[in-house]
Amino acid sequence: MLRYLSILFLLPACAMAKPTESESVKLVNACQELVAMYDREGQEKELVSWFGSVSEGMQAGYCRGVVVEFRRNYEELFDALKIDKAPCKSKGWFEQAKSIANTDLSTDERTTVGQLLESSCSD
């Protein structure tokens, strides 16, 4: 009897659990957090460390890390292939993060993280 009672308590929790969001949605949300923490020039706003939560900081760090590593790997690829043109048209990691943050995924939920990074690099 007691083992059935524990199942009854778990059922509502399972019913309330929402499906996980895709990695591309996580990246867009993380980049929105990052852009909110910086001003237009890409300088960290004052007092962000005082009023920002740990979760917001982690999300912002995730976005910046993904974008910076993508740019580094993309540049190394262009160097290895001896391609003379700049690999990314966007000026820097902050411009690319802003482009990702402004992406609307409601029209195409099948967009991958790689597609997001490549399209934001060419903007």
DSSP per-residue letters across 30-74: HHHHHHHHB-TTSPBPTTHHHHS-HHHHHHHHHHHHHHHHHHHHH
Output the pTM of the full model.
0.72
Q: Can you give the pLDDT at residue 8?
A: 47
The two tokens of residue 34 are 């990052």
Q: CB-based contacts of 67: which residues, under 8 Å, 6+ apart?
A: 31, 93, 96, 97, 100, 117, 120
Question: 4-36 pLDDT, tens per residue?
Answer: 545 545 555 544 445 577 899 999 999 998 888
Residue 65 has pLDDT above 90, yes or no: yes
- C-alpha 72/C-alpha 117 separation (Å) is 12
- C-alpha 75/C-alpha 101 separation (Å) is 22
Over residues 34-61, mean pLDDT: 71
Domain spans of the chain, in order of start: 21-122
Residue 27 near residue 100, CB atoms below 8 Å: yes
How is residue 21 annotated by DSSP?
Answer: P
